[in-house]
Amino acid sequence: MKERGTLYGVGVGPGDPELLSLKAVRILNQVPVIFAAHSSKNNYSLAKEIISPHVPPSTPVVRLDFPMTRSKEELECAWKRNADSILDRLNRGEDAAFVTLGDPMIYSTFGYIMRTIRSAAPDVSIEIVPGISSYQAAAAASGSILAEAEGSFTVISGAMGARKLKEVIDAADSIVMLKVYKNYREILEALEELELKEDSVLVSRCGLEGERIVQSLRGPNGDRPPYLTTLIVRKGRLTK
C-alpha cells in the first residue's frame, strides 16, 4: 500500500503575494494539489488570489465550500465533507496544501480541518507553515508599535461586539481587534466610553488595492469598514 501523503497548512499572509515565506512558495510549487476555502455564498477566494503568482499553472487549486453560519451542525458537516476530500488525496499517497489567510493557527478555518482530519486519521502527517498575520501587517503599514520593553499586547475578536475589549483593556498596553466590521458602531461606542478613540488605528484591506489607514478615530467614523479590517488600540500611543 502506498504511504499516505502529508498535508501542509500554509499561511499565505494578509493579501500581498510578496509576503509569502520562501518555505510556503517552495511547498506550493512541489505539492500536486492545493485546497482553498471559499464561502459557499460566492466563488471568490482571496487566499487563491494571493498564491496565484507562485503556483504552476498545471497545479489544481480545489475549492472547498464553507457556509457562513453559526450553526454548529452545518459547520461540522462542512468540516467533515471537506476533510474527507483532503483525506481522499492523502490516502492516494499525494501530498496536499491547504492555503489560508494570515497564519494557520490564528482564527483560521485550517484549525477545524486539522482537528477533523486527525480525528478520522490520527496518524496523518500534518505540517504547519506559518504566515504573516493581518495584525502584523497592519502594525507595519500604520507604524504602530504593538509592544516594547516590558509591555504586552492582546489579540481579540470583535465578532461578538465590544464585550471582549472591555474585559481585557486593563490587562494589556495595546489591543488588536480582528473581525470588527460587523459590530463596528458598538466597538466605536466602547472606545468613546473608554476615551480611546484618539489612540486607535483602523487598517482596512492591508496590502491590497484600496488599503486605508485611519490614524485616529476622533469624529463620527460611523460607516462600517470592509470585511478585512483590523483595529489597533494603543493605550500608550506607541508609534515609530
Q: Is the pLDDT of residue 19 over 60?
A: yes
Q: Looking at the structure, do residues 157 and 220 belong to the same domain, yes or no?
A: yes
CB 212, CB 204: distance < 8 Å: yes
Q: Are residues 153 and 224 in the same domain?
A: yes
Looking at the domain assignment, is residue 89 inside a domain? yes
| Segment 215-230 mean pLDDT | 79
Q: Which residues of 3-39 are buried (b: 16+ CB within 10 A; e: fewer)?
A: ebbbbbbbbbbbbbeebbbeebbebbeebebbbbbbe
Per the listing, cell 505539492 goes with 31
Domain that holds residue 63: 6-129
Kindly report the pTM of this predicted structure. Answer: 0.89
> Is 44 in the same domain as 144?
no
Q: Give 121-150 pLDDT, tens digit per residue.
A: 999 999 999 999 999 999 999 999 999 898
Q: Tell me, what amino acid is at 236?
A: G
Same domain, 157 and 77: no
pLDDT score recorded for residue 118: 95
Three-class SS state of 69: coil
C-alpha to C-alpha distance for 178 and 107, rounded to whole angstroms: 9
Instruction: Give me the amino acid identity at 70.
Output: R
- For residue 220, name the pLDDT band (cuts at 50, 70, 90): low
